[in-house]
Amino acid sequence: MAIEVQDLDFDNAGHVKALVTVLNTYSQEEGGGQQQIPVATQEQLPERLREFPTRHVLLAADDQVPVGVLVGFMVFSTFKAKPVLNIHDLAVLPKHRGKGIGTALLAAATERARDLDCCKLTLEVISSNEGARKLYHRCGFGDPTESSATLFLNKVL
């Protein structure tokens, strides 16, 4: 098993297909809302994401087969006057979990954040996703057994 993490190449049809496949697979699981990403959204996603100025998209491959993605966006900390890399999506195809792919993606994101002089990495996780919470804890993202003092809320528009 050889895990490799690289920037997603939006000009590579295989990379783009992997991005949509991995995210759509995750979206159909409990943690992703248990619904397929609408076909129109799947079709628009690569180009819309490519055009988004603060995006960072990493693709993980296991023996050269794409199996995981991390999508992050730069935001800004007003309290530190420095950028923050927010991990919006981290997904690994189910049969490839437990192989260190999520860890490799998070390590690459951490390296990217340091290179960009970020003051921190942030992410959200569904509280019932024990596997993800344990992974994030192992990678330095707080204690998975304690609730966070910060709540992430959303308003659907």
Return the closest-CA partner of residue 17 out of 54, 61, 56, 72: 61
- Among 142, 49, 64, residue whose Cα is nearest residue 96: 64
**Distance separating alpha carbons of residues 36 and 21, to the nearest angstrom:** 10
pLDDT digits (tens, 9 = 90+) for 115-155: 999 999 999 888 788 888 889 889 998 765 565 556 677 77
- Tokens 């954040």 correspond to 113
Nearest-angstrom CA–CA distance, 84 and 61: 26
Whole-angstrom distance, CA of residue 59 vs CA of residue 14:
11
The tens digit of pLDDT for each residue in 98-114 reads 999 999 999 999 999 99
The Cα 15–Cα 70 span in angstroms is: 13
For the entire predicted model, the pTM comes to 0.91
pLDDT digits (tens, 9 = 90+) for 5-34: 999 999 999 999 999 999 999 998 877 678
Model confidence pLDDT, tens digit, residues 47-104 = 999 999 999 999 999 999 999 999 999 999 999 999 999 999 999 999 999 999 999 9
